[in-house]
Amino acid sequence: MPLILFGTDGWRSIMAEDFTFPNVRSVTQAIAGHIIAAGRKEQGVVVGFDRRFLSDKFAQAAAEVFAANGIPVLLTKKDTPTPVTAFAVVRNQAAGAVMITASHNPPEYNGIKFIPHYGGPALPEITRDIEARLEKILAAGGVLRNDPCLVDGVNLITLIDPFQDYLAHLRGLIDGAKIRPAGLKVVIDPMYSCGTGYLETLLGEFGCQVEAIHQEHNPLFGGRLPEPNAVNLPELIEKVKETGAHLGLALDGDADRFGIIDRDGSFLTANQVLVLTMYHLLENRRWEGTKVVRTVATTHMLDRIGEFYGVKVVETPVGFKFIGQALLDPGSLMGGEESGGMSIRGHLPEKDGILAAALMVEVVASTGKSLLAILKEIEDRFGPSVSQRLDIHVDICDKDIIMERMAALNPVQVAGQPVVQRHTVDGVKIVLADGSWALVRASGTEPLFRLYVEAKSQEQLEQIQQEVRLEVGF
């Protein structure tokens, strides 16, 4: 049997190789055991799925395992985004959810996310318990197929469609009164994902002129990764420029991440979107709170804005599960990560691309300005900022040596700036006297290192990258 482990956001693997019906049933049985041991059996579970090949069938198989364990199941009628599945957990006070998705991975992959009762990503102690149970199940030969859904004559599988309830919730978070008179033109690219229909409906209700592309069901995602970055969004960028739209909005394979295109066709990084959101909540909405949460790899521009408005910025390890836990504190305004995850107070402790995209529409409608123009104003107030992540592949034989060099990384100065702080909460991060910083992290599953750098200029950024790479040896 293959080793099945939950990574930063669930278990993902290649279909027909490791991601098989027997393995899905075994993982589901381990999750069922966790729920029963936690005393939450009667609360039931939600099962959702994306648009990948056989995702609906894998979801049905998972539902049958839960039912065979006497756990009531709320199975989504159709493909449903991860944040909407998480919303259904909270809405129905369920014990948790299984979401069948591989998010933005290639089309040959599928996966399972477990979303606990609080509606956010599972913490490491939860996934460790599930993995321990799974190890015993696999050692015993796995779980036999369980077709019957009837337990003591009661059908434990109920079909649900959380679409309208979720949109009603978003209407309470997004300021439609600001958007309606703005007359915005918006192009939406759900990237063939299960996020199709959500932004189209919501923004149409708010008076936007909406055009959508790539809405059809295509398990191959049009030949591109369902990851909303500049490389994978050429049609959206071209459509925004061609139609004179104010914004282009994209979602990833399970709609928990976002991609934003400004009116001139420029792609905005997740860091920029987080900065715009925080600034909007504090400056325009006049929100009050005690903290904003970001990962160790996310822009420190949030810290500068927080210092001005008297809001503490809390740093967590990489992974939205850590941000989600902090968002459970009522004093938290928002949380985000540079890889494209974000949520705000009053929503879920789960990243939500639909929410993030709708907030960017509110920002433009509230100011009448392009997103890049607002970013320029922010930099004029709080100073310039340039950030970049490099993914550096190394020879598998060299990984251990580079790991040792990374752990020993402790320079006195970098790029002519003294090093004033060194953090090891997740990888090794060095902060320079002028606020610039560099972070080196290793992948846990492949010979890959990630180098994150934020600086005052592109020239300084490249110098920091060069010196850190020489120090670490990649």
Judge if 453 and 327 occupy the same domain: no
Give me 302's structure tokens.
């949030």
**What is the model's pLDDT at position 142?**
83
Judge if 353 and 305 occupy the same domain: yes
**What is the model's pLDDT at position 1?**
45
Is position 2 within any domain?
no
User: How many Å apart are CA 174 and CA 359, to the nearest integer?
Assistant: 7
- For every one of its 474 residues, what pLDDT tens digit does the chain have, with 9 covering 90 and above? 457 888 767 899 999 999 999 999 999 999 999 999 999 999 999 999 999 999 999 999 999 999 999 999 999 999 999 999 999 999 999 999 999 999 999 999 999 999 999 999 999 999 999 999 999 999 998 886 665 555 555 589 999 999 999 999 999 999 999 999 999 999 999 999 999 999 999 999 999 999 999 999 999 999 999 999 999 999 999 999 999 999 999 999 999 999 999 999 999 999 999 999 999 999 999 999 899 999 999 999 999 999 999 999 999 999 999 999 999 998 999 999 999 999 999 999 999 999 999 999 999 999 999 999 999 999 999 999 999 999 999 998 889 999 999 999 999 999 999 999 999 999 999 999 999 999 999 987 678 999 999 999 999 999 999 999 999 998
Judge if 239 and 360 occupy the same domain: yes
Report yes or no: 172 and 165 within 8 Å, Cβ to Cβ: no
Residues 6 or more apart whose CB falls under 8 angstroms from that of 401 comprise: 473
Buried-state track 174-211, b at ≥16 Cβ within 10 A, e below 16: bbbebbeebebbbbbbbbbbbbbbbbbebbeebebebb
CATH code: domain of residue 375: 3.40.120.10
Q: 3-class DSSP state for residue 452?
A: strand
Structural domain count of the chain: 3
CA distances from 451 to 108, 243, 424, 460 (A): 28, 37, 14, 15
Dmax over CA atoms of the chain, in Å, equals 74
Judge if 367 and 232 occupy the same domain: yes
**What is the model's pLDDT at position 144?**
67
Q: Which of 467, 451, 458 is nearest to 419 (CA)?
A: 467
Torsions phi, psi of 439, nearest 5? -130, 130
Q: Which of 319, 313, 318 is nearest to 331 (CA)?
A: 313
Judge if 150 and 170 occupy the same domain: no
Judge if 109 and 223 occupy the same domain: no
Residue at which a domain ends, from 94, 126, 161: 161
- Residues, the chain: 474
260: DSSP letter: E
Query: Which residue segment(s) compose the domain that 433 sits in?
Result: 386-472
Is position 1 within any domain?
no
**DSSP string covering 271-320:** HHHHHHHHHIIIIIS----SEEEEETTS-THHHHHHHHHT-EEEEE-SSH
Give me 465's structure tokens.
């990258």
Judge if 432 and 314 occupy the same domain: no
Please tell me the number of Cα atoms within 13 Å of 84 on its side-chain side: 30
Give me 25's structure tokens.
């049933």
- The single-letter code of the amino acid at 75 is L
Judge if 396 and 294 occupy the same domain: no
How many CB atoms are located within 10 Å of the residue 379 CB? 14
Judge if 285 and 336 occupy the same domain: yes
User: How many Å apart are CA 349 and CA 314, to the nearest integer?
Assistant: 15
**What is the model's pLDDT at position 132?**
94
Q: Is the pTM of this model over 0.75?
A: yes
**What is the model's pLDDT at position 59?**
98
